[in-house]
Structure formats: C-alpha cells, structure tokens
Structure 1
Amino acid sequence: MSLLNSQNNQIDRDQLIQELMTEYGSQVTRLAYSYVKDIQTAENITQEVFIKCYKKMHHLQKESAVKSWIFRITVNKCKDHFRSGWIKRLRMNVDFSKWLKSTAPSPEEELSKRNEHDELTKQVLSLPVKYREVIICFYFQELSIQETSDLLNLKVPTVSSRLRRARLMLQEKLEGDWK
C-alpha cells in the first residue's frame, strides 16, 4: 500500500488496484459470500467492488481507511444486489472452513474442529442478515465495533446490541443442537 502515501504525485492506479486486489480480494469475496450465499454472485460483486475502487480511488485519503472503505463498498454492492428487482434469494448451505486455515496437530482433532466450525458457520449463516453482518464483521473480518459501525452505517450502540443478540441467538441454536 505504499502508493497511497504518494497521492500528491502521479499515482500508478493500475498498480495500486492490483495491490488492493491482492491484499483484500479474498476477504471481499468472503464478505460478499456471507451476504449472497452464492460463490458466483460473490465473485461478480467482488469484481464490481474493485471496478468501483478503481474509479473512485481519488476518494481514498489515508491508508488506515482502506479496509473499511473497501468493505463499505462491498456491503453496499451486496445490498444493491438484493434491491435489484430480478434477483431471487437462494438459501444454500455454506462451508467457510475451506477458506479458513486449520492448524490442528492431529487428524482426529482437525476433524473434530472442522465439524464444530462447520456447525458454527451453518448457524451464523442461518441468522437474519442484520445479525449475521455484525458477527461476520466482528469475528470473521476482525473489525472493531467502531469499524463495524462505520462500515454498516449504524450507531455504535446498535452494533453492540445486534452483536449481543446475535451471540445469544447462536448460543441458543448451538446448545439446542448439542442436546
């Protein structure tokens, strides 16, 4: 991201967009996927996000805001996708585990951990969107409550409240499955 520091100079936009795609491409796809639950649609949204980033690069003011700027564009593109009149929502089972790294020392522990993760992922994706998005931002994207608030254009107390409710919903779902 060294090119951001030289904004007063002539910026090589192609190189900067390449750096942004390399750094954030998979995270943007996962975030989009968490909304649309379809990999092809998520990849299309990812392309749209980086096209918009390329066109609006002059709005990018400081390096620390890059991640939230790109995630905000992604969330908005996902919401635009659902607002479009021809789109039908499809509910699909999702497996985030193939994108997340597992460092379990033994095959048995790895299998157990994967099963738990698959169940957690399934339950997170079964939450209503307003709760799912705060869980994904906070835990999967590792954004702070303030960053999540900025990204989703919500007040901090609203994010905190939704996060608390989402945790309770997940706890109830997971405890119900294990009984």
Structure 2
Amino acid sequence: MTQYGSQVKRLAYTYVKDVQTAENIAQEVFIKCYKKMHHLKKNNAVKAWINQITVNKCKDHFRSGWIKNLNLNASFSHWLRGSAPSPEEEYSKKIQHDELTKEVLSLPLKYREVIIHFHFQELSINEISELLKIKVPTVSSRLKRARQMLKERLEGGPK
C-alpha cells in the first residue's frame, strides 16, 4: 500500500472527483488486492493489475446507488434551456432542479452514464471512453443524443 497508495488514490480521484470517495475506493482496491494476490501471474505487472482493479472499482461506484442522490447543478439546467433565469425561474428553481434530476435519472443507462460522467463528474470524453470501454465517437454521439432527449423532455416533447 505504501508503494502504490497515492497512485491508486489519484487514479480513483480522476474518475470520481471526490477525495473521500477516492480514499474509500483505494481502501477497497487494497483489500481486493490482498485477497486476490495469488491470481497475479507476473510480479512485474503489479502496477497494471492494481490500476485495472482501481478502474473497475470506480466503475462499480458509478453503477451503485450513489447516482440516485445526485445533485444536478443549476448552470446545466439553464444551459439545457438556453437562457439566463428570469425572476419567475428563480422562484421555481427547486421544482426545475427536481424535474431535471428526475429526467436525467430516467434516461436509458447508456445515455444517463455519459451525461453524468461528462457534466457532473467532469470527465473528458476520452476519460469516459476509457472508463466505459467504448470508442470516443460513440461517447460523443451518446452525449449529443442524451442532451437532445433531455431538452425534448424538459420542453414537454416526446419521451
């Protein structure tokens, strides 16, 4: 752990963008490494093995229930609507926030995950591509479709 601890925390942080969560993931990684050390075939591949476990633990985190407690920021909501808030919009901010959260969480998984990783976890398209093991153009396409779906839903269009 002393040799790879900071590296694992940094890698986890690049995915989850939260220090406490990254530290928790690092602990889980080292527990798994300890339990599965006998599966390691090459001692010179330890770093790559630990990195892969870290990435997998980050993916597990994204698949877990943390997403249901996601707080979407207001600037993304306004970006979707394409305008600055009026006094009336400020008054209904909470309702809009709840509606946006509900709509993001109701998207099909392949669209929801790219929206969340890009806009809320602030991962780059390349990082999302690596994390989800899909091609960069696929990430871009899903992101565009997810934004369009959200815009239609928020404007009262087809679901």
The TM-score with structure 1 as length reference comes to: 0.50
Q: Give the match's secondary structure for 1:142.
A: coil
Q: 1:136 to 1:77 in 2, by over 3 A?
A: closer
Q: Aligned equivalents of 1:145 and 1:75: distance in 2?
A: 16
Q: Aligned equivalents of 2:150 and 2:53: distance in 1?
A: 29
Q: CA RMSD in A?
A: 4.5
Contact 1:131 / 1:166 at 8 angstroms: preserved in 2? Answer: yes
Residue 96 (structure 1) aligned with residue 70 (structure 2): yes
| 1:87 equivalent in structure 2 | none
Letter of the structure 1 residue corresponding to residue 70 of structure 2: F
Q: 1:12 to 1:137 in 2, by over 3 A?
A: closer
Q: Aligned equivalents of 1:145 and 1:100: distance in 2?
A: 20
Deviations 1:63-108 (A, max 9, x none): xxx8x985553224666x7xxxxxxxx9xx94533x8699xxxxx9
Q: Give the match's secondary structure for 2:122.
A: coil
Q: Aligned equivalents of 1:176 and 1:101: distance in 2?
A: 19
| 1:50 equivalent in structure 2 | 26
Aligned residues: 125
Q: Give the match's secondary structure for 1:176.
A: coil
The Cα of 1:11 is off from its aligned counterpart by 2.8
| 1:74 equivalent in structure 2 | 58
Q: 1:12 to 1:149 in 2, by over 3 A?
A: closer
Q: In structure 2, list runs of 5 or more residues that go unmatched.
A: 35-45, 76-87
Q: Aligned equivalents of 1:155 and 1:147: distance in 2?
A: 11
The Cα of 1:20 is off from its aligned counterpart by 3.0
> In percent, how many aligned pairs have the same letter?
43
Q: Aligned equivalents of 2:96 and 2:55: distance in 1?
A: 27
Q: 1:12 to 1:169 in 2, by over 3 A?
A: closer
Residue 149 (structure 1) aligned with residue 141 (structure 2): no
Q: Aligned equivalents of 1:144 and 1:72: distance in 2?
A: 18
The Cα of 1:109 is off from its aligned counterpart by 7.4
Kindly name which structure, 1 or 2, has the bigger radius of gyration based on alpha carbons.
2
Q: Aligned equivalents of 2:119 and 2:137: distance in 1?
A: 17
Q: In structure 1, list runs of 5 or more residues that go unmatched.
A: 1-6, 30-42, 82-89, 103-107
| 2:39 equivalent in structure 1 | none
Q: Aligned equivalents of 1:95 and 1:111: distance in 2?
A: 23
Residue 115 (structure 1) aligned with residue 107 (structure 2): no
